[in-house]
Amino acid sequence: MGWAALSTREWATVFWMIVLAVAAIGFPFALRALAPVARMFLGFWQLHVTLVLFFGWIVLVCYVAHLVGAWNEGLLKDTVAWVVFYGFASILSANRAANEEHFFRRAALAALSIGALMQFVLNLHTFNFVVELLLLPLVTFLFMLEAVAGMDVKTRPAQKLVNGLILVVGMWVIIATARGLLDSWRGLDPEQTGLAFAFSVWFPLTMLPFVYVFSLVLTYGANLSRARFHNDDKPPSFGARSALLVGLQGDLRAVNDLPQHHAEYRAIVRSRSFREGLRNVRAYKKAREIVRHEKEEAAARLVRNAGVKGVDENGRVLDQREVKETRDALRWIETCHLGHYNNRGKYRKDLISTVLLDDFTRQGLPEDHGITMRVRKDGQAWYAWRRTPSGQVLGIGMNKGRDNEWLYDAQEPPTGFPGADLSWGDRPYETPPNWQ
């Protein structure tokens, strides 16, 4: 197999890239749309430096791999293809690395997964040029359609249909590839094929150190850029900067979490010396561990008390499953209601179905959220409620335009609007136990 030559799949990719480039150049509206992006790219020197360092890292990795016999010129095409299709995504993933727990562990496992093996196997055999030319836009269109359909609750049934079509096309590709490999396996170079398979595993792994360092630099830079705000608009001292760098010891998550701890952050950037800064960094790490422990204990308590009846010493139900998520969802309804009331002078009866699209998954609720909402005929009062898995009912509402927020917390749902239904309590602005 000629690894240095482009396959029909890659020629099809090149063809469609040329078509898109010509279309972009040929239509004036496309040029006008792309002009701001081009100006931003040309004027963003930090991006240029990042790309130079990234390509330099790739060259270094390939050179070291060549010295140990893991890379040769036959893998140049595979290297270029990886950079084109995955390289820029790897750079962009640096923004996620600091925010996502176990990001690098998942990225490493992805390189060792069955999916990575399947991708390599599928690339061993390609179809004739015409099939590849038709297959590429079809698969791209289906995946784009699936992503768009998944953004709206109303189009979720269409997403399932598209997923079925993707499965059909994928099964056809796998079966056709397997048949092609049975006919052509004798023509494969075992040594080069083994090198290519190993490359598909180790090369993505070698990009993770670059992503880590890049993400660390970005996160440190973001923290230092905000430091003036906490230091009377003055840059932090050299000692404070050094203590921040040395004290956190490259812990990416700790660097990212720092702005969430306002008091400790403020103390660090106001430090006058390295020793004082290091002491404040240690205080931040201790406070962060306490918060992490409290979150872990809260998560364990959710599991431990699942299905347990009764209330604690503060009157909160012991089974707190989806209580926080329910509060967040109801608060979100209130926020949206108030926004529309400011513009329309009354509350919308179709707020959940039309504006919020029956979707509270961002607040952590399932797609079948179970929220019930009522709006009075004159549009000047509303309420919404939901029953949590423990059976407790939480609700929220208003009965005098923008004023008089009422919070509900009971075993049974309300039967009327706040103020008219006594189950809401005697007066507004009271905070029941499960709303605290």
Average pLDDT over residues 56-67: 95
**Contact at 8 Å (CB) between 77 and 6?**
yes
Q: Distance (Å, rounded) from C-alpha 98 to C-alpha 218?
A: 9
Average pLDDT over residues 131-152: 77
Average pLDDT over residues 351-380: 92
Q: What confidence category does residue 4 fall into, taking pLDDT thresholds of 50, 70 and 90?
A: very low
Average pLDDT over residues 104-119: 78
- What are the C-alpha distances in Å from 360 to residues 152, 163, 181, 280, 324? 11, 23, 47, 40, 13
Structural domain that includes position 293: 231-304
Residue 195 covered by a domain: yes
Whether residues 247 and 139 fall in one domain: no
Stretch among 56-60, 109-113, 289-293, 338-342 having the lowest mean pLDDT: 109-113
Q: Is residue 83 over pLDDT 90?
A: no
DSSP string covering 18-54, please? HHHHHHHHH-HHHHHHHHHHHHHHHH-HHHHHHHHHH
Average pLDDT over residues 269-298: 93
pLDDT of residue 224: 85
Among 197, 203, 251, CA closest to 57: 203
The type of residue at 186 is: R
Q: What confidence category does residue 59 fall into, taking pLDDT thresholds of 50, 70 and 90?
A: very high
pLDDT of residue 401: 75
Average pLDDT over residues 207-212: 93
Total tally of structural domains belonging to the chain? 3
Whether residues 363 and 238 fall in one domain: no
Average pLDDT over residues 223-244: 87
Whether residues 180 and 55 fall in one domain: yes
Which neighbouring-strand residues pair with 409? Answer: 394
Whether residues 263 and 412 fall in one domain: no
The type of residue at 326 is: T
Among 285, 275, 221, CA closest to 251: 285
Helices (H) and strands (E) in the chain, counts: 16, 4
Residue 179 covered by a domain: yes
Q: What is the DSSP secondary structure assignment for residue 342, as one 8-state letter? A: H
Q: Distance (Å, rounded) from C-alpha 140 to C-alpha 308?
A: 49
Q: What is the DSSP secondary structure assignment for residue 421, as one 8-state letter? A: B
Whether residues 159 and 186 fall in one domain: yes
pLDDT of residue 319: 94
Average pLDDT over residues 302-311: 91
pLDDT of residue 2: 41
Residue labelled with tokens 């083994």: 194
Q: Is residue 345 over pLDDT 80?
A: yes
User: Reading across the β-sheet that carries 382-387, which strands appear in turn?
Assistant: 372-375, 382-387, 393-400, 403-410
Average pLDDT over residues 96-114: 83
Q: What confidence category does residue 1 fall into, taking pLDDT thresholds of 50, 70 and 90?
A: very low
Q: Is the pTM of this model over 0.75?
A: no
Whether residues 279 and 162 fall in one domain: no
pLDDT of residue 273: 93
Q: Which of 184, 215, 246 marks a domain boundary?
A: 215
For the chain, how many residues are written? 436
Q: Is residue 157 over pLDDT 80?
A: no
Packing angle, helices 103-111 and 190-227, rounded to 10 = 170
Residue 278 covered by a domain: yes
Q: Is residue 181 over pLDDT 80?
A: no
Q: Which of 215, 244, 273 marks a domain boundary?
A: 215
Find all residues with CB under 8 Å of 23, minimum gap 6, and list them.
Answer: 30
Residue 45 covered by a domain: yes
Q: Is residue 3 over pLDDT 60?
A: no
Q: Is residue 434 over pLDDT 80?
A: yes
Residue 412 covered by a domain: yes
Average pLDDT over residues 279-299: 93
Whether residues 74 and 203 fall in one domain: yes
Q: Distance (Å, rounded) from C-alpha 352 to C-alpha 370?
A: 11
Average pLDDT over residues 343-360: 90
Portion of the chain with pLDDT greater than 70, in percent: 91
Which neighbouring-strand residues pair with 385? Answer: 372, 395
pLDDT of residue 5: 62
pLDDT of residue 410: 95
Whether residues 248 and 365 fall in one domain: no
Average pLDDT over residues 62-66: 95
Q: Distance (Å, rounded) from C-alpha 189 to C-alpha 62?
A: 21
Residue 342 covered by a domain: yes
CA 336 to chain centroid, in Å, comes to 24
372 φ/ψ angles, rounded to the nearest 5 degrees:
-110, 135
Q: Is residue 11 over pLDDT 90?
A: no
pLDDT of residue 358: 85
Average confidence score pLDDT of the chain: 86
Whether residues 162 and 126 fall in one domain: yes
Q: Per residue in 290-299, pLDDT tens?
A: 999 998 898 8
Residue 70 covered by a domain: yes
Q: Distance (Å, rounded) from C-alpha 337 to C-alpha 229?
A: 34
Tokens of 375: 């709006």
Whether residues 102 and 183 fall in one domain: yes
Stretch among 163-167, 357-361, 369-373, 430-434 having the lowest mean pLDDT: 163-167
Residue 118 covered by a domain: yes
Q: Distance (Å, rounded) from C-alpha 222 to C-alpha 205?
A: 26
Whether residues 369 and 251 fall in one domain: no
Q: Distance (Å, rounded) from C-alpha 1 to C-alpha 187?
A: 6
Give just the sign of the alpha carbon dihedral 229, 230, 236, 237. positive
The H or E element containing residue 219 is: helix 190-227
Whether residues 153 and 295 fall in one domain: no
pLDDT of residue 42: 62
Q: Distance (Å, rounded) from C-alpha 98 to C-alpha 214?
A: 10
